[in-house]
Amino acid sequence: MMKRLTAALVAATLGLSIVAAPQTARADDPYWQCVTFARMLSGIQIFGDAWTWWRQAVDKFRTGDAPEQGSVLVFQPSGRMSRGHVAVVSDILTDRVIRVTHANWGGSRGKVEENVTVVDVSGSGDWSQVKVWYSPIRDLGTSVYPTYGFVYKNAAEAGQQVGEGALRLAQGGGSAVAGGAR
């Protein structure tokens, strides 16, 4: 219980410190889907709807229930998120709080959001249920999202692919907004 409370306090404090004014969308801005963006940024070459990434990854990549920088958190289909969601871990803050960079989430349809706070709210600390920072309320969203876990890059590919993905993002663009969504 104390770990969950600490994680929530850390998330709230961090979230308030990174709130930025939203950027105005332009007609020539790319419209990012979460899977296309996650594949490009992480270098993990999995295709198809987000919820299929977990099944596809089992035989090709390491998978697990602990975040690693550059790994992909795979969300299960839930509610309006009927095709699941994928997000790339950009930072690990505590054993129950991470930041992700992802696209096409909540109120930021088609946009990229960087360093969004995600908190593990599962009873056993296995990242099977998370809450995601939601900028409009400047707090964690009220929804709890089920996840499959993390897909990790293969060790030999890790450094090269993340660097290439970041370079492509920097060159090709995509709007970035600090904070998060639900």
Closest C-alpha to 178, from 129, 117, 126: 117
Q: Is the pTM of this model over 0.85?
A: no
Identity (one letter) of the amino acid at 88? Answer: V
CATH architecture of 2-18+31-178: Alpha-Beta Complex (3.90)
- Provide the mean pLDDT of the chain: 80
pLDDT digits (tens, 9 = 90+) for 59-107: 899 999 999 999 999 999 999 899 999 999 999 999 999 999 999 997 7
> How confident is the model over 45-70, as a mean pLDDT?
96
Q: Where are the domains of the chain?
A: 2-18+31-178
The lowest-confidence range among 2-6, 39-43, 140-144 is 2-6
Closest C-alpha to 50, from 22, 20, 82: 82
pLDDT digits (tens, 9 = 90+) for 119-157: 999 999 999 999 999 888 889 988 999 999 999 987 545
